[in-house]
Structure 1
Amino acid sequence: MITPRFSCSQTDTSVIVSMYCPSIRAAEVEINIDEMTLTVHVKPYFLRLNFSHALLEDDESSAQYDPSSGYLTITMTKESKGQDFKDLDLLAKLLAPRTTTHQPVIEVLSSDNGNESDLVSKTQGLSLEENLSLEQEEIKKAAKNDWQLPQQAPETLVSFETSLQKYYGFLNMHHGYLRHVIHTENEVNELGADAETCTVDERTKRRIDHEDEKWDGEHYMADYMDDEYIRGLLDWTHPLADGPFEYTEKENAEMLRLPRKEYIATPQQTHNLYLTLVTILYSYAYDARTTQLDPTPESAWTMCVLTPAFSALDPPNMRPTTGKEPLIFSQEEVIAALIPSYRRSLAFPLYRSFYLVDKCRTDVAGFLTKGRRMVMRCLLQMKDILDHHEVYHVYSKIWLNDFCLWISAYADDETLEKLGKVLAEIKIAKALIGWNLEELETAALESLERESDSDDLSSEDSDDFYHAPL
C-alpha cells in the first residue's frame, strides 16, 4: 500500500486532513474514525493517523474528492469544541503507531481453601519483627535438616557472547551496513574492516588514538595567529526560525519517506539519545557556520568525521538512570559528551580554532531551545546532504532516519529546552581537550612578538642603509 502525501489543519470545531490521491474512485474510499484514530483506505493508498484528542463522525463531518486536483479532503468534528490539536505539522508523529499499555487481565478475588486463607490472615497480622523472627527460625530448621533452601540467581551475570557480530546505530538496531566498508571510499570510518565486530571499548580506544594521530599543533598555532577569516565566521549569524514555523513542501515530503517504526527505549537509552543528538547537531552547526549555510562537496565528509557516532560508531554512553526521575542533564555529562566533538573539530577540518569550536556550541543551544521543529529542520538539512552522497548515505540510514522519526514522535520540547539551557551555560576548559592548547597559544604569541621585534630592527637597518653616505 502507498502512503499518500497529506497535510493537516484545524479550526475551532474541526480537524481537516487533505490527501493527494489522484485517479481513484470516490465510491471506493473507506473512512473510519475511531476516537483518536483516522483510517482511510482506497486502492492503492492507505493512511492511518493518530491524533492527540478524540474526534467525532457526525452530520458536520464530511469527505469531498476533487478529481481535477486529485485531493481528498476529510473534515472531522472535534469532540470538545475549541480544543487545540498540537503537532499537526509533525507528520511522522501522526503516522507513528499508538503506544498501548497492557494491564493484567486476571485478578484473584478470593480462595476456596479456608486453611490457606487463615494462614494468610495470620501472617499478615504479624508485625515486621515477628515476621523476621519467624523467617530466621525457618532458616535454622532448614539448615539443621538439610532442606533445600530457596536460591536466587545473581542480579548481574557475566556477559557471554557467541557471535562476533556487534550492533550499532540508533538504539543499536543496525548491523551489516559496514560489512564491505573497506571496499568503498569511506574516509571517515575509523574502525577499518573491524567495523562490524569491534566492541564498545575498542571503538572508543580507536577513536581517541585516531584523534591524537591527526592532531597537528602547528596547524592550530597557524590558525590562532592568522585568524582574520575565522573572525568572519565567528561574526556570522545562523538564520534561526523566528515567529510562526512552517515546513517547506520538500521537508514534508522527506518526513513522509521516513520509516514507520515504534521505539521502545529504556530511560537510560532515552537519556543517551538526547546526548547523542547534541553531538549530531554540533557537526551540523560546524558545517553550517563554516560554509555559511551553503554546503560544499566537503560538507558530507565534515559532518560525518566530526560525529563520533558516525566515524567510530561511538555515541555518548553516560551514567545509568532509574527512570523514576525526569530527564536531568548535569553539566559534567554534557561536557563529557561534547569533548570528543571539540577534539575532532580541532584535529580534522580546515579551520581549527577553539573559539570557532566553542561558538558552534552556542548554535546548538539555540537549536535545542527552539524545540522539536527547529531540531527536525536541522536534521532534515543534514540528512539531505548525506542522502545525496554515494558513500556517506549509510550514516543517514543507521542514524538520521530513526532520529528524525524519534524527534517528531517521541522527543519532548521541554526536555530539549532544558538541555539547550545547560548547553548554553557550560564552559569547556581548554585543558579538558588534552593537547596543551593554552601553551601552544602562548608560544604562538611569543613567536609573533619575536617576529614583530625582528621586523622593527630590519626596518631600522634599512633606514640606515638608505641614509648612509655614498
Structure 2
Amino acid sequence: MITPRFSCTQTEESVVVSIYCPSVRASDVEITVDDTLFTIHINPYFLRLNFSHALLEDDESSAKYDPSSGNLTVTLTKAVKGQTFDDLDLLAKLLAPRPSKPQGPLIEVLDSQEDAPTEDEELANAAERLSLSQEQQEILEGTSSFIRLVNSTDLSEFEAAENDWQLKQELPEAGTSFKTSTSQNYGFLNLHTGYFRHVEHTENEANELGTTAETAEIGERRKLRLKHEDEKWDEEYYMADYADDEYIQELIHWKHPHGVPQTEIQYTEEEKLTMLHLASSTQTKDLYLTLLTLLFSYAYESRTTQKDPTPESGWTLSSLTPAFSALDPAPYVSISSDPNKFDSPELLATFVACYRRALSFPLYRSFALAETCRTDVIAFLKNGKRMVLRCLLEMKDILDHHDVYYVYSKIWVDDYSVWIQSSSDETLRSLAADVERLKIPKSELGWDLERLESLTQEERESDSDDEDSEDEIERMLPAPL
C-alpha cells in the first residue's frame, strides 16, 4: 500500500483531510472513523491518521473526489463542536498509530482436563498418525502452535501480528548484534550504511574520511576529524579576519528572522511533504546534542548569506557539521549522568567541535561570529520545535538540491525532521537556557587565539602609529612651489 500525500485543516465544526490520489475509482473508497482514528483505503492508497480528539462519521460528513486534480476531500465532524485539534500540520505525528488497548485472550480454554485415552484409542491415534503425509503433519503442528500462540496472547498483540504496521518496533540493544562485515553504520541513530561505497568517484569535498567512510569506527573518525581541523587551521587567515572585520561585524549585527519570536508558523506544501515519514525512535540526549551542531551550521550558513543560499551553501553546511564531514556525531565527551539533564562539559565539547570547524574551513573565520551563531541556536530553540523544524527543512532543501551533498540529508536531516516533531518544546527551551549559560573559553579550541588576537592588535596599533608619523612628516615638509 502507498501512503498518499495529504494535508489537514479544521473549522469550528469539522476536520478536513485533503488527499492526493490520482487515477483511482472513487466508488472503491473505504472510510472508517473510530473515535480518534481515521482510516481510508482506496486502492493502491492507504492512510491511517490518529487525531488528538474524537471524530464522528455522521450525515454532515462527506467525501468528494475531483478527478481533474486527483484530490479527495474528506470532511469529518468533530465530536465536540469548537474543539481545537492540535498539530494538524505535523503530519508524521498524525501517522503514528494509537496505543493498542489490552484485551482478554482470543480463545479461552474452558477445560484443560481430558480423560486419559484407552488402549484402543491410543492404537487408533497411532495408526492415524502413520497414515498422514509429512505435509499434513506440519499443517496440524502449525495449527496447534497457532492455538497456543493465540491462547497466550492478548487481542491487541494478535491484531498487531495480522497488521504489520501496528507492530511495536524497538531499537536493538547494544551488544546484541553479530557483525559479519567490516562495514560500519552511521547517520541518525546509526541506521544507515552504504552511502559512501563509491565516494571516490564523487566530488564530495566535505568528506574527510575518504574511502574509509564505510569501514572506519567512531574513534577513528574522530581522530581523523581533529587531525584535519588542525591541518586546515591557518593562523594568518584568522589574524587577517580579526584585523579586517568590517564585513564580519555586519554579519554579526544582522537580525536572523528565525530568531524573532513568532506567534504562528505556517509550512509550505513542499515542506509538508518532507514530514510524511513515520519514525519510532526514542528521544535521547545524544540526538539533542547532535541537533545543536546541525543548528549551528545552519545558523552560520544562513547568517553569512543572509538567508539567500549560494552554490557554496551545501558545502558550508556539510563541512561545518562534524556528523556530516566526518560521520562523527555528539557526544564528544563521555559523562555518565542523568539522561534528562544536559551537563556543561557535554555542551562545551559540542560547541567546541562546531567552533573549531567554523574557524578552519569557511570564508569568514571569526570567534565573535561563531558566538553570534550560538546565539542564533539559542533563539531557534526558544521558539520551540516548529521553528527548529523550519530550520531543518530549509537545511534539507539546500542539501537536496546539491548533486553530491544530498547524501547528508538522507542519512541525517530527513530523520531529524521527523524526530523533532515528537520532541518537547519544554525540553528545547530548557536546552536553550543551558546553552545560554554556557561560557566557551578561547583556550578550549586548542589554538592560541588570544595570543594571535593580541599580536594582531599590536600590529594594528603599530600601523596606526606609522600612519600618524607619516602624516606628521608631511605636515612638516614645505609646501610645493
TM-score by length of 2: 0.79
Distance (Å, rounded) in 1 between the aligned partners of 2:183 and 2:430: 37
Matched letter for residue 86 of structure 2: K
Q: Quote the residue 2:439 is aligned against.
A: 427
1:301 aligns with 2:301: no
Residues 469 and 180 (structure 1), Cα distance of their counterparts in 2 relative to 1, 3 Å cut: closer
Task: Report the secondary structure of 1:75's partner residue.
Answer: strand
Contact 2:2 2:45 in 1 (8 A): yes
**What is the DSSP-based 3-state SS (H/G/I as helix, E as strand, rest coil) of the residue aligned with 2:340?**
coil
- Which residue of 1 is the match for residue 271 of structure 2? 251
1:4 CA drift (Å):
3.0
Whether the 8 Å CA contact 2:92–2:418 is kept in 1: the answer is: yes
Q: Write out per-residue CA displacement over residues 202-227 of structure 1, whole angstroms, 9 at most, x where no aligned residue.
A: 11111111111100111111111101
Of stretches 55-64 and 379-388 in structure 1, the one that deviates more from structure 2 is: 55-64
Q: Which amino acid is the alignment partner of residue 356 of structure 2?
A: R
**Corresponding letter in the other structure for 1:456:** D
- Counterpart in the other structure of 1:400: 413
Question: Contact (CA 8 Å) 2:271, 2:393: kept in 1 or not?
Answer: yes
Shift of 1:39: 1.3
Structure 2 CA distance for aligned equivalents of residues 167 and 53 of structure 1? 40
**1:75 maps to which residue?**
75
- Matched with 2:478 is 467
TM-fit CA distance, 1:434: 1.5
Distance in 1, Cα, partners of 2:103 & 2:224: 46
Aligned to 1:190: 208
CA distance in 2, matches of 1:39, 1:161: 40
Partner residue of 1:454? 466
Moved more, 280-289 or 244-253: 244-253
Counterpart of 1:436 (choices 442, 448, 470) is 448
Q: Do structure 1's residue 9 and structure 2's residue 9 form an aligned pair? A: yes
How far the C-alpha of 1:69 sits from its partner, in A, is 4.9
Q: Is the 8 A contact 2:95 2:278 kept in 1?
A: no
Question: Which residue is equivalent to 1:113?
Answer: none
The more displaced of 190-199 and 33-42 is: 33-42
- In the alignment, the residues of structure 2 paired with residue 159 and residue 244 of structure 1 have an alpha-carbon distance, to the nearest angstrom, of 45
Give 1:13 deviation, angstroms.
Answer: 3.8
Give the share of equivalent positions with the same residue, in percent.
Answer: 58
Q: Which residue of 2 aligns with 1:173?
A: 191
- Cα drift, residue 249 of structure 1: 2.3
SS in 2 for 1:178: coil
Contact 1:386 1:393 in 2 (8 A): yes
Q: How does 1:376-387 map to 2 (within 5 A)?
A: 376-387=389-400
2:370 pairs, out of 334, 354, 357, with 357
Runs of 4+ in 1 over 6 A off after TM superposition: 101-106, 156-160
Matched, 1:369 2:369: no
Structure 2, unaligned runs of 5 or more: 107-173
Tell me if structure 2 keeps the 8 A contact 1:221–1:441: yes
**Structure 1 residues 280-289 or 47-56, which shifts more?**
47-56
| Secondary structure at 2:307 match in 1 | coil
Residues 53-86 of structure 1: per-residue CA shift (max 9 Å, x gap): 3323234433233445543222223344444321
Alpha-carbon distance in 1 for matches of 2:104, 2:408: 41
The amino acid of 2:10's aligned partner reads Q
Deviation of residue 337 (structure 1)? 1.1
Partner of 2:305: 291
- 1:281 matches 2:295: yes
Partner of 2:161: none
Cross-structure match for 1:27? 27
Determine the structure 1 residue equivalent to 2:120: none
What's the secondary structure of 2:410's corresponding residue?
helix
Distance 1:292 1:193 in 2: 35
Of residues 328, 331, 336, the one that matches 1:314 is 328
Say which of 234, 237, 242 aligns to 2:252. Answer: 234
Look up the equivalent residue of 2:220 and give its one-letter code.
E
For 2:104 and 2:309, how far apart are their aligned partners in 1? 54
Q: Distance in 2 between matches of 1:469 and 1:320?
A: 75
Match of 2:241 among 210, 223, 233: 223
Shift, 1:52, TM fit: 2.3
Q: 1:320 to 1:218 in 2, by over 3 A?
A: closer
Cα contact 1:65–1:72 (8 A) shared by 2: yes
Which residue of structure 2 aligns with residue 36 of structure 1? 36
Which one is further off, 207-216 or 412-421?
Answer: 412-421
Contact 2:281/2:419 (<8 A) preserved: no
Report the 3-state secondary structure (helix = DSSP H, G, I; strand = E; otherwise coil) of the residue aligned with 1:347.
coil
Aligned to 2:115: none
State whether residues 97 and 262 of structure 1, in contact with CA within 8 Å, keep that contact through their aligned partners in structure 2: no
- 1:59 to 1:104, Cα distance in 2 relative to 1, 3 A: closer
Q: What SS does the corresponding residue of 1:316 show, helix, strand or coil?
A: coil
Change (3 A) 1:357 1:60: same
Inter-partner Cα distance in structure 1 for 2:29 and 2:175: 55
Match of 1:264 among 281, 284, 290: 281
- Give, in angstroms, the shift of residue 195 of structure 1: 0.8
TM-fit CA distance, 1:349:
0.6
Q: Does 1:203 align with 2:216?
A: no
Alpha-carbon distance in 1 for matches of 2:448, 2:104: 60
> What is the Cα deviation at residue 231 of structure 1?
0.8
Is this contact kept in 1: 2:251–2:304, CA < 8 A?
yes
1:444-463 Cα offsets, whole Å, 9 max, x none, are 00111111112222233334
Tell whether 2:391 aligns with 1:391. Answer: no
Give the drift of 1:427: 2.0
Q: Which moved more, 1:80-89 or 1:440-449?
A: 80-89
The 3-state SS of whatever aligns with 1:401 is helix
* In 2, Cα distance between equivalents of 1:6 and 1:469: 82
Q: What secondary structure does 1:65 align onto? A: strand
Tell me the residue number matched to 2:134: none
CA contact (8 A) 1:97 1:261 kept: no
How far apart in 1 are the matches of 2:446 and 2:103? 52
Deviation track 1:340-392 (CA, whole Å, cap 9, x = no partner) reads 00110001111011111100011111111111111111111111111111111
Q: What is the CA–CA distance in structure 1 between the aligned matches of 2:105 and 2:184, rounded to whole Å?
A: 38
